[in-house]
Each structure stands twice: as C-alpha cells, then as structure tokens.
C-alpha cells in the first residue's frame, strides 16, 4: 500500500483524487497550502505527492526539489489549472514524474499514479548499496544536488553525456566523477581539447598514424580514441569543434571504429563518451555552426551545472573545503576565514565561478602568511577594487532598474511614457512602487534580497517589452535558454 500526499488548494480536486487513491487501496492525505504540505513531507515518508503549481502561499515548482529530497524521496506529479508548456518543461527538468492539467480524466490520473508508484517501488528495491564517490565535489544547494542525481544516472550506464555550464563551473570535474563512479573507472579517462583540433591534425590526433604516413611521422603514434578503449573519452569544449571535424567524428561515434593515418584497415574502440561545453549548442545548431545529428548523439544524458552566483549557500562550504585542501598542500596548520572575508565573497558575482573562487582563496591564503585567520584585507588590491566596482555597478543597475520599472508602470497606466521621477517619489498608485518606497524609506533589506526583487522585475519587464519572444529576450539579456527558464522558475514567473 502506498502513502500519497495531495497538495492543492482546491478542496474538490483533493477529494476527487483522495477517492481514486482509496479505491486503488492506498492511503491519501491532503494539504491545502504549501506550508502545511511541506511540514507533512518533512515529518513522514511518502511514496507519491500530487503538487499544485498555483497555491495561496507560493509556487509549487519552487519547492519541487525540496519535496523530492524529503525523507521518502517521493515521486511528484505536478498539477496545474491551465496549459503551460514552459511550466511542464521546468517540472520535467526538475525531476517530476508527470505534469497533469486540471481537470484531468479519472483514467489519466489513475494511470499516472499507478505507474509512478510502480517506478518508486522498483527504484527503492534497486537502490544502490554503495554511495557515489563525490570526494572532490562540494555543495548542498538545491541546484547542485539536482546534478548529483544525474551523476548517479550517468554513472550507472554507458549512455553519452553532455555537461553544460559556464566557464569555471567544474565541467571536467563532473565528467571525471562520472568516469570514476562507472564500471570503466579502472581504465583511461582521455581528454580531447576540441578547441585545438584542426582539419589537418584531427585524424592523426584522434586516430593515430603509422610511421612514414606523412612528412614528420617518424614513428607510429597511438591516437586518443584507441587510448580511450574500455575507458571514457572526454570532449572538452565540444562547441569549439570545427564543422569538418564534427563530420569526421560523427561516424566514429556511430560505429566506434577508426582508421589510423597510413593504415589500410579499421579498428574498434569501446569508449564511453562524455562531452562538455559552455556554449548553447541548440542555438549553434539553428545558426548552422553545429551539426544537429551530432548534438542528438552526445546528449543522451544532459547535465546543466549552475553558475556559482545561483548556488545559494555553497560559497562558504567551497571556501572551507579549499582552505582545508590548501593547508594539506602547503603543509601548514589549518586557517579559517573571518566573517568580513566571507561577506566580500558572498556579495561578489563570480563571473569565473568556482575556478575563480578557488584562485582568490589561494591568493588570500598565501597573503595571510603564518596567521591562522584570513581577513578581507588579505585579498589583493586589484581584486578588492574589482569587487568594489562590481558592487557599485550592481547598486547603480538596481536603481536604474527600479526607475525604469516606475516609468514603465506609469506609461502603461497613462498610455504614454512620463518623465522619470525621483526614486523616492514614485507613483503611489503602483503596488510595486509602494513596496519600493517602503523598502527604501524603512530598514533596508540585505543586498541579496534587494537584488532578487530587481532581478524579478527585470525578467517581468523583459517579458512585457518583448511579448514573450524568447530569442529576443536571450539576445538582450545574455542569458542561456536553460538559465532564463531557471530564473523564471526561481521567481515564480509564468511567461
């Protein structure tokens, strides 16, 4: 018998689903708001949760991962009162079992419930006895924990994997972790730098060559693909691979065969493929810069690594981890970071992500000398100036965003764009304006809270000005498609 929770503010919907659950021989419990529902999943183990999106006290999608991470690790079926393609995409990406539009037929609800419970039972029975080895990956944020689940799926199969993320997010580390947790762990992890591949050298580099096959080939050379036999071939920055090289590699990927330069026969290589890129490959496909058939081949499992700025709470854990590692590396007593050091780190955007953070922490570690505590003063002057300018720029951008929002709100109500008003003399007829006035005239919130408000308003303004035209929004904002939808989900915005 399964234990099922329904989180929906519509009493009739809850009663209908409760009846279906009872007829199927399972236990049903209902909650009519998020707070009560979250309290229930935190206090008891459930096999399945029906989760509504629009609830009186929040957006269900924002708490999808929290529900999935609760004690019973339940499957989740998302409910919504209207068709929402992007909401469905976010729900499935977030690990939901299914996405149902209310009202759904009895047959559809029953079938989805039965399959979800069967899957949950099978998953529980086949749970891995040995935990993943995540020794070098640090973080407990919801965003990064989602990646851990995907690592587990990837490690248990031979499927091709695409790791996507900004520079410095740790793509190669995640690729290597997948390899080390797979059945190929005792064989080679071979790295191919796709940016350095050229049409003239690609065959020799990847496939190898025989002595005398071309000028300068003074000895037989084994290529990277045969070196990866029985192991993992890692294509680093696959988005930089030239089109002509993509064509050559596609056949190798399909057939797992290669022919060294100067050789008249083909050889087999049983490699597992993991690729990584910081580029939007779907956009490249639409521009003709990347082969669509190759993209289909390399992204059987797709892992998106969030930027450090979106991994709330992980900066301190990453810093502490790296300080401990540096103490061992330098052979000195452990050092700790002061609160003012963490304050600076917490308020920086980290365009270089984890790689940049580790470099900054090491610089400060060395600057602290024999001291046991690292302070903000141990950061380099150049970095402190850069951080100060960044924070000033963020403040100016926030003020400009709020001013623009005020102007836009006034224009919508009057039918014309009025002159920009002083920030503290905003139109009192606007709910948003009233909220801003209250914030700026009362006790100021933390910068992160204030930044979050402006970020949400910026997204709403983008959608308003460009009427949901995703291509224009991505071009203007500089966001990737996945990051844009992640932000919409974060702020509960329906586009």
d(CA 8, CA 6): 6
**Strand blocks (E) in 53-167:** 54-55, 58-59, 75-80, 98-101, 161-164
How deeply is 107 buried, as exposed, middle or buried, from its count of CB atoms within 10 A (0-12, 13-18, 19+)? exposed
Cα end-to-end distance, the chain, whole Å:
39
Strand pairing report for 98-101 and 54-55: unpaired
Same domain for 170 and 302:
yes
The answer to whether residues 45 and 71 touch, using CB atoms and an 8 Å cutoff, is yes
Decide if 136 is inside a domain.
no
Domain count across the chain: 4
Q: Is the domain of 369 the same as that of 328?
A: yes
The answer to whether residue 397 scores a pLDDT higher than 70 is no
Q: Which pLDDT does position 38 carry in this prediction?
A: 92
**Residue 101 falls inside a structural domain:** yes
pLDDT, position 402: 64
Do 233 and 224 meet the contact criterion of CB atoms below 8 Å apart? Answer: yes
Residue pLDDT, tens place only, 168-189: 999 999 999 999 999 999 999 9
Which CATH number covers residue 346? 1.10.8.60
Give dist(CA 66, CA 267) in Å, integer. 49
**pTM summary value:** 0.64
What contacts 338, CB < 8 A, 6 or more positions away?
373, 374, 375, 376
Within this chain, do residues 370 and 406 fall inside the same structural domain, yes or no?
Answer: no
Cis bond leading into 66, ω under 30°?
no
Q: If you compute the radius of gyration of the chain from its CA atoms, what whole number of angstroms results?
A: 26
Q: Does 299 share its domain with 354?
A: no
Q: Choose one of 379, 414, 432: the last residue of a domain.
A: 379
* Residue 436 in this model has a pLDDT that exceeds 90: no
Task: Work out the average pLDDT over 84-97.
Answer: 75
With bands split at pLDDT 50, 70 and 90, how would you rate the model's confidence at 201? confident
DSSP tally for the chain: helices H, then strands E? 20, 18
Domain-located, residue 134:
no
Domain, as residue range, for 363? 312-379
The enclosing domain of 78 has a CATH number of: 3.40.50.2300
Considering the domain architecture, whether residues 249 and 335 belong to the same structural domain is answered as no
Q: Pick from 96, 100, 68, 95: which is nearest to 84 by CA?
A: 100
pLDDT in tens, 128-168: 444 678 888 999 887 888 788 889 889 988 999 999 999 99
In a domain, 131, yes or no: no
Residue 133 lies in a domain: no
**What is the pairing mode between strands 75-80 and 48-52?**
parallel
The verdict on 63 and 8 lying in the same domain is yes
Same domain membership, residue 428 and residue 337: no
In a domain, 130, yes or no: no
- Report the distance separating Cα 7 and Cα 98, nearest Å: 15
178 and 252 inside one domain: yes
Place of tokens 């035209």: 469
């Amino acid at each position: 018998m399964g234990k099922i929770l329904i989180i929906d503010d519509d009493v009739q919907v809850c009663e209908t689903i409760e009846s279906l659950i009872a007829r199927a021989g399972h236990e049903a419990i209902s909650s009519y708001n998020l707070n009560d529902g979250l309290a229930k999943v935190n206090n008891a183990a459930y096999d399945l949760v029906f989760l509504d999106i629009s609830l009186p006290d929040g957006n269900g999608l924002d708490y999808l991962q929290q529900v999935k991470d609760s004690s019973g690790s339940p499957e989740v079926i998302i409910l919504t009162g209207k068709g929402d393609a992007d909401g469905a995409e976010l729900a499935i990406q977030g690990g939901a079992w299914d996405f149902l539009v209310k009202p759904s037929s009895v047959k559809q609800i029953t079938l989805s419930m039965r399959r979800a419970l069967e899957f949950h039972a099978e998953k529980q029975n086949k749970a891995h006895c040995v935990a993943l080895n995540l020794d070098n990956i640090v973080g407990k944020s919801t965003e990064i924990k989602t990646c851990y689940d995907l690592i587990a799926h990837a490690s248990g199969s031979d499927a091709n994997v695409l790791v996507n993320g900004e520079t410095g997010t740790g793509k190669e580390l995640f690729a290597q972790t997948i390899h080390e947790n797979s059945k190929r762990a005792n064989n080679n992890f071979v790295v191919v730098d796709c940016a350095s591949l050229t049409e003239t050298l690609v065959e020799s580099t990847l496939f190898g060559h025989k002595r005398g096959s071309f000028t300068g080939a003074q000895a037989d050379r084994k290529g990277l693909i045969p070196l990866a036999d029985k192991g993992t071939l890692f294509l680093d920055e696959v988005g930089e691979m030239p089109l002509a090289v993509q064509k050559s590699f596609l056949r190798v990927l399909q057939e797992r065969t290669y022919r060294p330069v100067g050789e008249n026969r083909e050889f087999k290589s049983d490699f597992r493929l993991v690729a990584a890129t910081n580029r939007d490959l779907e956009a490249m496909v639409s521009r003709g810069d990347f082969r669509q058939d190759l993209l289909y081949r390399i992204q059987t499992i797709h892992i998106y690594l969030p930027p450090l700025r979106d991994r709330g709470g992980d900066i301190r854990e990453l810093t502490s981890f790296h300080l401990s590692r540096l103490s061992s590396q330098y052979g000195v007593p452990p050092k700790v970071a002061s609160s003012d050091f963490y304050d600076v780190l917490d308020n920086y955007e980290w365009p270089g992500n984890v790689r940049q953070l580790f470099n900054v922490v090491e610089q400060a570690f060395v600057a602290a000398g024999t001291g046991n505590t690292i302070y903000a003063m141990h950061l380099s002057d150049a970095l402190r100036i850069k951080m100060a300018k960044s924070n000033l720029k963020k403040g100016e951008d926030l003020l400009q965003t709020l001013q623009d929002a005020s102007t836009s709100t006034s224009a919508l109500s009057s039918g014309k764009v009025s002159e920009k008003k002083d920030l503290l003399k905003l139109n009192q007829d606007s709910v948003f304006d009233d909220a801003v006035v209250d914030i700026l005239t009362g006790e100021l919130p933390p910068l992160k809270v204030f930044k979050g408000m402006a970020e949400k308003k910026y997204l709403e303004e983008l959608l308003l000005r460009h009427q949901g035209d995703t291509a224009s929004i991505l071009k203007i904002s500089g966001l990737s498609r996945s990051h844009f939808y992640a932000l919409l989900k974060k702020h509960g915005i329906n586009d």
